[in-house]
């Protein structure tokens, strides 16, 4: 079974496109093979130091995280969510957000969100829970 996440950034109630220069800067140390990155610079195949890998693609206003493997690659995903996006939509429907995102969420999304000062691996593991936990 495949596991995936969506990373978002909202401004004034609307999802906005990620800053691709920032996304590239965060992901560039982890590129597994530049040939696997897509030609338009919005898709990445990254590998962490322990060899775990994940596909990441910016599509419109969402950063899609597909088939992440167990391991250190999760540190990279969480860093990307915290620095470039600001919110992770979990498969449970919960939105894990930086606190400053609260004022920018679309109407009605606040009640399904968990707000934190910083998205960290520890916070992600706690909010994702054991059922959806990708590391278990």
- Which parts of the chain sit beneath pLDDT 50? 1, 35, 131-133, 135-136
Please write the tens of the pLDDT for every residue from 83-110: 998 899 988 889 999 999 999 999 999 9
Report how many helices (DSSP H) and strands (DSSP E) the chain contains, helices first: 3, 9
Give residue limits of the domains in the chain: 4-132
By CB atoms closer than 10 A (0-12, 13-18, 19+), residue 119 is buried
Work out the percent of the chain whose per-residue pLDDT is above 90: 51
Identify the CA nearest to 33 among candidates 18, 49, 44. Answer: 44
3-state secondary structure of 102: helix
- Could you give the CA distance from residue 6 to residue 91 in angstroms, rounded to a whole number? 9
pTM for the full model?
0.85
């Amino acid at each position: 079974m495949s596991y995936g996440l969506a990373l978002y950034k909202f401004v004034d109630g609307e999802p906005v496109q990620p800053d691709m220069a920032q996304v590239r800067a965060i992901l560039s140390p982890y590129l597994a093979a530049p040939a696997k990155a897509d030609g338009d610079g919005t898709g990445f195949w990254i590998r962490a130091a322990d060899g775990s890998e994940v596909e990441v693609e910016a599509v419109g206003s969402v950063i899609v995280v597909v088939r992440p493997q167990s391991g250190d690659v999760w540190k990279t995903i969480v860093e990307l969510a915290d620095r470039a996006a600001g919110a992770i939509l979990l498969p449970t429907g919960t939105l894990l957000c930086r606190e400053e995102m609260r004022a920018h969420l679309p109407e009605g999304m606040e009640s399904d969100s968990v707000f934190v000062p910083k998205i960290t691996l520890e916070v992600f593991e706690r909010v994702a829970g054991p059922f959806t936990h990708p590391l278990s």
